[in-house]
Structure 1
């Protein structure tokens, strides 16, 4: 090593040129004056020996990025206080004006008369660029996650662990908890009861490797209110094409769902009475009959007697109020499973399911007549409303909606022909 301080022989220089990366010998002075460098140093930074002397006066400190010099000096002093070896990372200028990140290892040699560093440089530019790109990508992802209203999740299928973005807490009001050891009911306790099974099926499909999955489900908030959400998941695979993880989003579609539900309801219901319109009445009744139920059902067609007189005497607004009251009365006489509709201006229909006997249907018809007759009696109203009812019974009078409707309509015509304010059961 003593010869390194006095200058290298040709053989020594050849030996240094075999060392990968750049090699430099410099004095331990204020400018870290360059004494010798190998070919790798010239290749790494692009300068010639003459250019180092002309541009930097062989002062290595001038080649270090201005932002890194102070840190460089502090680190040199700090590490020399602990020993004679240095390990540093900083940027060094190149001939094309760019800076390269380097990792340098240095050994201090010499005595009181003169001290020199023997330094070896490795190019870290590609590594640092990769690290910087990764840092920016992670920062970019974090910005997106913070700005997005969607909840982002990742399911590690191997470890069976789920992590979600922090905005879950803001959306639902509690921290999520996933424990694969829990039973389905406990694991999915925050989902609507009707959505638990579909969600469990989707999770099984993802575990088996389904590439893309979408489901609309309701998730409870801390205030026990359900929010409609759309969950999307994409599966990632390992080199052997085995499912590795699933990543995806949970987006709030509550307003969209409720708007669609409102539009659907408006399409199904009569605006005045809140009963089903004729098309929806037929669809629901026919859907039930297509299952060929092994019970008795009844089809009623109800016509308000002389309703035109109510409109003529009291006005159409009052007539509308009367129809709304009659609809409310019919709802009270039926079950939630039954289907009631307004099929014309002053004409209604009822489809009653699962009756014990046809006599029960006739009893219901008598109650309808009584309800109509008494609804507007008393101090509040000074008039009487009656109705005529046509009745057909499934399965004897028909097995589908159209047939039952036709038979009920014929029976209604007979009831009105016989003087109104009565019911008639269809008789071939």
Structure 2
């Protein structure tokens, strides 16, 4: 007489051959040909001989759906010298399509007899503990479709909501049984894609369980979190790492809830969210220690601490009492809101952010990066500030924080401005212009042009003689105001001396822009009255050079613009001319 394990293994082999291998012919080999009976779930599912059983099995194995068996249990009920009775219980789990799935519990009893010296199944009875079982549900294909439609109707709202949530977050969705290892009955494509696996690869890696998917060192805490949460209610939340297909570890937050399915069985629906980018990778104490060391080395100005990961800006302002500081914390989803606290304009913010990226790319924590920006106070006075920044990096070399100070450099800027500008008009002087033009040409963008506009006031000597030098000075000032109103803040406006001005335009993508600016400049001058009570009009002549040669120096640029200006005056004044090769100046 065989032991109980023999019959349990034999039953398991029959179940696997039929459901997993879909091999109806091999499954029939377990049955006795001469005496066999089989009862399925529905009224019509019954066979009292081998040939009838063959028809049912052949039809039932033609399933196009992927089937998995879960929670298998095989129990020996009774046995004698020539018979044995085994009861099998298992869960059929099938993935119907990308978003559709179902699970169905099955029970089956098997009677074995010793027939011609071999143990064969002489009777099999299948049942499904489901109040909504319908006709012909024994067969995997038909049963799969019927149950999928049923579950889709009962759970469609919840499934759609969870799918939308999974697709709109950095994560995926899973469904688990409420067993010891939380066996999967569903895993969506978003979760597999997030980890770099195909569905089959993920199921193999995890062993088909939520516990098996967790990085082993994190299993105890994750399981403990779940147990503690379920003691308090139906919901749980925990964090752990999963090993991706490429071998790296991904931090996830696992949040889910226990619900009952259509069979009134407890299942767990869960959302997994990628939290790697916001997970601390170094000890908070070490980071705080390094931050405090950097802050202590900086002078007693406005101190700031910007946490890149949390997008949190801490600003330490000098207090009214010497030696003390008060702190303000700005936590925002937008970096720009934090920099506004320091008075940084949107235009200057881009430059500061570029400096921060320089820190990140260099990966040198003791390197100080400088940036300057300007704010305008309530009485329209310019206040210049300099930002000094240093980076704090985590153990993986990623920039975690930027710590720095803000210094008021208005006095320094004012002195520099005076040395670089014309006293009368506040336009830049020639010495500054030459240096700025040289730098701008050298750093010109690819496929971009630069332009030089040399402006001369027509008959300016007559204006001085007719209206006086004081009125002439007003005209010079007014010309600079026109230029500032018309040209970009990045364009350089300079007075070269007397009534001669130069405007340098950098990074121009279309040459027509330069000509349009010149026309508007002539119109603005023509519409200007030298004095309200005298209808005299202002006239300008403009020589223009447009080029993309990064090797050209200021002297060459000025000479070509002067030739074009001469041609404009020769052609009647009050107009502009663009330099072309072949143009000559009388002095050449």
With normalisation by structure 2, the TM-score equals: 0.35
Identify the structure with the greater helix proportion.
1
Larger radius of gyration: 1
With normalisation by structure 1, the TM-score equals: 0.46
Identify the structure with the greater strand proportion.
2
